[in-house]
Amino acid sequence: MGDASAIPASLPEITAEWLSTEFGASGHDVTVSNVDYAAMGGIVGAVGHVGILTLDYDGPTTLPRQMVGKCPLDDDVARLINDIMGMYPRESGFFAHLVDDVPMRIPTCYVNTNDSEAGRFLQLFEYIEGRDGDILAGAPFDAMLKLITDLGTMHGQFWEAPVLDRHDWLYNWRRESLLAGIPVMTEGWSKLRAQQPDAMPDELWAVIDETYVQNTKDFLELFAQRPATFVHGDYELDNMIFTDDDIAVLDWQTTMRSFPGFDVGWFLACSADDASIAREAELIEAYRTALEAAGGPRWSTEELLDDCAIGMLYHVSGAGYTNTQDMSGYGGHAPRMEARFARMLSGVVDASVRWDVAARLRRLL
């Protein structure tokens, strides 16, 4: 894995010498002679830096000439979120231990190195040519159908799997650092209610406030006790690349042991457009069928929507933070970030109304 103490702090700091050492440690006997860095047009991460590296080699190699680099952003908001959520340790652990068992198209990871104590993480991935997914634009129904079927297969394959308890890097809802996020969530929730009082129906405001917001620690334990599988944690179109014959799934930074409705509800809420909402019953049926076929339970539609409703406690309350932050620090990317987070808020609210989440939560809780 190379000398962890020498991990570059940013992508432009990557040198040919450092990369040669990393490739050698992973079994590639090759010398990198030059590294050119370029920002990835149109892509900006909320907590991480993403860019394209173009490499020259001294001699033949099977390694590609272009790779996508990722490392944490060096700013206060990113550090806070990363400290609470452990995004980079999670993604590093995923690519070290579980990636080969996930039945999806996932970019190859060529460098996966970290120094947790120093807060340095750096990964280099396969550069995939294709069209970036976009929650503002939606996706064709057949793509939505494939994505939710693949999600059901993954969830069924990992259903209550012992491997989920073997890795320290894999979060569950009892992770102590998550408690540090409670004040962040409650502050964002209060700001959202003050700034956008019409963002959701009164009953949805009330039930989420009276249950999850006022008793978050107890509800994290409730989450932990639900039937669990391996979840992506941020399964939505902005984390997909559409190629001619497949869909690649990116950003495995929020993977965890969790209940499946956490993924399903988020995907259907954020990624659906009017056309797929009109055929949502087909998407839910495809998920249920794939879940059972891969080893999961035979859940009814109502059982699945109940699980999604539990997930909305987290997703709706969390939208307060992202929709009340100053995005001006993202420069030219700020309008896209603001529109993306606004779409997430409207998506989870609309889905909550569509699935009658307030009534479900009153019954379940």
Look at residue 117 and tell me whether its pLDDT is greater than 90: no
Q: How far apart are CA 37 and CA 68, in angstroms?
A: 10
- Architecture of domain 131-364 in CATH? Alpha-Beta Complex (3.90)
Q: How far apart are CA 186 and CA 320, in angstroms?
A: 8
Look at residue 104 and tell me whether its pLDDT is greater than 90: yes
Residue 326: the pLDDT is: 85
- Nearest residue to 345 via CA among 313, 324, 320, 308: 320
Residue 1: the pLDDT is: 45
Please answer whether residues 31 and 59 qualify as being in contact, where contact means their C-beta atoms are separated by less than 8 angstroms: yes
Sheet bearing 48-57, strands edge to edge: 32-39, 48-57, 66-72, 120-126, 109-115
- Architecture of domain 4-126 in CATH? 2-Layer Sandwich (3.30)
**Other beta carbons within 10 Å of 330:** 15
The DSSP-derived string for 84-95 is HH-HHHHHHHHH
Q: How far apart are CA 138 and CA 280, in angstroms?
A: 14
Joined together, the tokens standing for residue 192 give: 């959202």
Query: In Å, what is the CA distance from 166 to each residue of 1, 61, 97?
Result: 22, 35, 10
Query: In Å, what is the CA distance from 120 to each residue of 14, 36, 66, 252?
Result: 13, 21, 22, 17
Look at residue 315 and tell me whether its pLDDT is greater than 50: yes
Look at residue 120 and tell me whether its pLDDT is greater than 90: no
What is the CA angle 185-187-189, rounded to 5?
65
Residue 328: the pLDDT is: 76
Residue 332: the pLDDT is: 80
Residue 45: the pLDDT is: 60
Residue 4: the pLDDT is: 46
Phi, psi of 309 (to 5 degrees): -60, -40
Look at residue 213 and tell me whether its pLDDT is greater than 60: yes
Look at residue 46 and tell me whether its pLDDT is greater than 70: no
Phi, psi of 291 (to 5 degrees): -60, -50
Residue 119: the pLDDT is: 77
Going by pLDDT thresholds of 50, 70 and 90, the confidence category of residue 188 is very high
Residue 118: the pLDDT is: 76
Mean pLDDT of 124-141: 96
Amino acid at 148: I
| Residues 16-33 pLDDT 10s | 999 999 999 989 999 999
* Residue indicated by tokens 């989450």: 223
Name every residue whose Cβ is closer than 8 Å to that of residue 261 and which is 6 or more positions away in sequence: 304, 305, 306, 307, 308, 309, 310, 311
Judged on CB neighbours under 10 Å (0-12, 13-18, 19+), 132 is: middle
Mean pLDDT of 191-211: 97
Residue 115: the pLDDT is: 85
What percent of the chain has a predicted confidence (pLDDT) above 90?
A: 82
Going by pLDDT thresholds of 50, 70 and 90, the confidence category of residue 44 is low
Please answer whether residues 136 and 346 qualify as being in contact, where contact means their C-beta atoms are separated by less than 8 angstroms: no
Look at residue 42 and tell me whether its pLDDT is greater than 80: no
Residue 275: the pLDDT is: 96
Q: Global pTM?
A: 0.94
User: What value does the mean pLDDT of the chain take?
Assistant: 93
What percent of the chain has a predicted confidence (pLDDT) above 70?
A: 96
Residue 365: the pLDDT is: 93
Joined together, the tokens standing for residue 136 give: 């503002």
Judged on CB neighbours under 10 Å (0-12, 13-18, 19+), 195 is: exposed
Q: How far apart are CA 33 and CA 172, in angstroms?
A: 42
Q: Name which of 73-87, 138-152, 222-236, 285-299 the model is least confident about.
A: 73-87
Residue 2: the pLDDT is: 46
What is the CA angle 212-216-218, rounded to 5?
105
Looking at the DSSP assignment, which residues form a beta bridge with residue 115? 120
Q: Name which of 52-56, 189-193, 334-338, 357-361 the model is least confident about.
A: 334-338
Q: Find how far residue 340's CA is from the centre of its chain.
A: 14
Please answer whether residues 284 and 304 qualify as being in contact, where contact means their C-beta atoms are separated by less than 8 angstroms: yes
Q: Name which of 106-120, 159-173, 292-306, 328-342 the model is least confident about.
A: 328-342
Mean pLDDT of 205-234: 98
Residue 68: the pLDDT is: 97
| Sequence spans of domains, the chain | 4-126, 131-364
Q: How far apart are CA 307 and CA 92, in angstroms?
A: 28
Please answer whether residues 98 and 147 qualify as being in contact, where contact means their C-beta atoms are separated by less than 8 angstroms: no
